[in-house]
Amino acid sequence: MEYDVVIIGAGPGGYVAAIRAAQLGLKTACVEKDPKLGGTCLNVGCIPSKSLLHSSELYHQILHGAGDHGIDAKPTLDFSKMMARKKGVVERFNRGIEMLFQKNSVTKIIGEARFKDANTIEVNGEEIKAKNFVIATGSEPTPLPFLPFDEKQILSSTGALALNEVPKKMVVIGAGVIGVELGSVYARLGTEVEFVEFLDRVCPPLDKTLSKEFQKILEKQGLTFRLSTKVVDAKIEGDVTLTFENKETVTAEKVLVCIGRKPFTTNLNLEALNIETNRGMISINGRFQTSIPNIYAIGDVVDGPMLAHKASEEGVAVAEIIAGENPHLNYLAIPSVVYTFPEVAAVGFTEEELKDKKIKYKVGGFPLKANSRAVAIGEEEGVVKLLADDATGMLLGMHIIAPHAGELIHEGALAIEKRATVFDIANCSHAHPTLAEAIKEAALSIVKKAIHI
């Protein structure tokens, strides 16, 4: 039997591609090496981390935040129950994807895929033939060369999501997205968390002014940062002692290494087919085709931000391309969110990117402490920053630190997708009192009509 398309990997790229392909009438199979569908995102990424972020935030708020509201309570922490809840959330969606596959007639094949030729893969010793393949095999954590993961003391994000108890001290190497999210989880539960970051700022892709503001907020929460610091050696003698280039040392029970992820193509046998890669990423053209035209690649295994929704958008687009359609995907309108408290969200260009591109722009901003809803809920740390084209006012970037910034940012994503201007945002009525009014006020500040600042 020959499939129209076989998708390799059932993460948010692969499973979405499979469903869309089947919906378009293509005879579709999805091969996944893990018995549980959903990939990194569902099993050891987005979903378990957000479950723990919310649970730990609740605990922390009751412990430290509720007193200001006149509520005195002393919570007790049942960490194993918190972890069990997280597992339940993941399993619910594992079953959900299974059901979606059944409903859409996607054939699920559990096993590791290995290419034999451009139309054949081998899985569990059997050959599977297809007119087209989509590689959606994702990514894996990058270890430090002298500090391999043992998932007991030297943790990747996967190990940090599966601890049995809350550690006393954790050093986080890499103050990127995983670091600040999982570092926040454990700091809220009582761990002393110290970051070691190679660069001079936290979450380097963020707009620089927001990165600085974000760091200050995290420091107020008790997180500490050693920026511009390189770990050069590590010794495990009971605890782990890290040595930095300046010869200083730090000792901790656990070390979380989150210095980025790398594309995962192990055992696919890409070399035999001469499928081109670039620094480990599979090279593709604008239609997701690899150097072999009937073999496509999407998601973390190709260039671009390693985000679940980016992988899914590519999954839909590649299925539509294989089915003969001409989909459109605007990468500039893909938002990114850091799910700390407050959240940090961005879409479009940063100020530094506009300077590099020599695009003339205007900046508008609004601090949360002048937003009535933020003050009413007692969460007034944060800011909205908008970047607009100098000549036309077209929105070029939206950057937010705020509670629920990950929800608010979609106003910016839609504006960028539809090429809306800051005049459009300023003219649009925003309900009062909402955090979203800070976006309107930031737009009003660019069009010189600010009311509340």
What is the nearest approach in angstroms of ligand NAD to the Cβ of residue 333? 16
Q: How many CB atoms lie within 10 A of CB 105?
A: 11
194 binds ligand NAD (CB under 6 A): no
396 binds ligand NAD (CB under 6 A): no
207 binds ligand NAD (CB under 6 A): no
- Phi-psi map region of 321: left, alpha, beta (phi>0 left; psi -120 to 50 alpha): alpha
342 in helix, strand or coil? coil
List the single partner that 176 binds among ligand NAD, ligand FAD, none, CB under 5 to 8 Å by kind. Answer: ligand NAD
174 binds ligand NAD (CB under 6 A): yes
End-to-end alpha-carbon separation of the chain, Å? 67
318 in helix, strand or coil? helix
DSSP annotation of 143 reads P
Q: Report which of 221, 180, 157 is spatially closest to residue 379, judged by C-alpha positions.
A: 221
Q: Which residues would be at the binding site for ligand FAD (CB under 6 A)?
A: 8-14, 31-34, 39-41, 45-46, 49, 112-113, 136-139, 157, 178, 264, 267-268, 299-300, 306-309, 311, 339
171 binds ligand NAD (CB under 6 A): no
Binding mask 245-274 for ligand NAD (x = CB under 6 A): -------------xxxx-------------
Q: Helices (DSSP H) in 121-176: which residue ranges?
A: 157-160
Among 93, 198, 244, 264, binds ligand NAD (CB under 6 A): 198
List the single partner that 41 binds among ligand FAD, ligand NAD, none, CB under 5 to 8 Å by kind. Answer: ligand FAD
Binding mask 312-351 for ligand NAD (x = CB under 6 A): ------------------------xxxx------------
- Phi-psi map region of 267: left, alpha, beta (phi>0 left; psi -120 to 50 alpha): left
List the single partner that 9 binds among ligand FAD, ligand NAD, none, CB under 5 to 8 Å by kind. Answer: ligand FAD
Of 31-39, 85-93, 175-183, 438-446: span binding ligand NAD (CB under 6 A)? 175-183
- Phi-psi map region of 35: left, alpha, beta (phi>0 left; psi -120 to 50 alpha): alpha
432 tagged catalytic: yes
Q: Which two tokens stand for residue 75?
A: 């919570």
Pick the closer one to ligand FAD by CB: 52 or 388. Answer: 52
What is the nearest approach in angstroms of ligand FAD to the Cβ of residue 448? 36
What is the nearest approach in angstroms of ligand NAD to the Cβ of residue 228? 10
What is the nearest approach in angstroms of ligand FAD to the Cβ of residue 300? 4
Q: How many CB atoms lie within 10 A of CB 67?
A: 11
Sort 329 into a burial class: Cβ within 10 Å, 0-12 / 13-18 / 19+.
middle
Of 16-24, 191-199, 274-282, 350-358: span binding ligand NAD (CB under 6 A)? 191-199
Pick the closer one to ligand NAD by CB: 204 or 293. Answer: 204
List the single partner that 443 binds among ligand NAD, ligand FAD, none, CB under 5 to 8 Å by kind. Answer: none
Q: How many CB atoms lie within 10 A of CB 90?
A: 17
Binding residues for ligand NAD restricted to 412-431, rule: CB under 6 A: none
Q: Which two tokens stand for residue 161?
A: 């999501």
Q: Report which of 110, 451, 122 is spatially closest to residue 268, judged by C-alpha positions.
A: 122
List the single partner that 159 binds among ligand FAD, ligand NAD, none, CB under 5 to 8 Å by kind. Answer: none
**Count of alpha carbons within 13 Å of 355, Cβ hemisphere only?**
6
Q: Helices (DSSP H) in 265-371: which residue ranges?
A: 270-273, 308-322, 351-356
User: Where in the sequence numbering do the catalytic residues fall?
Assistant: 432
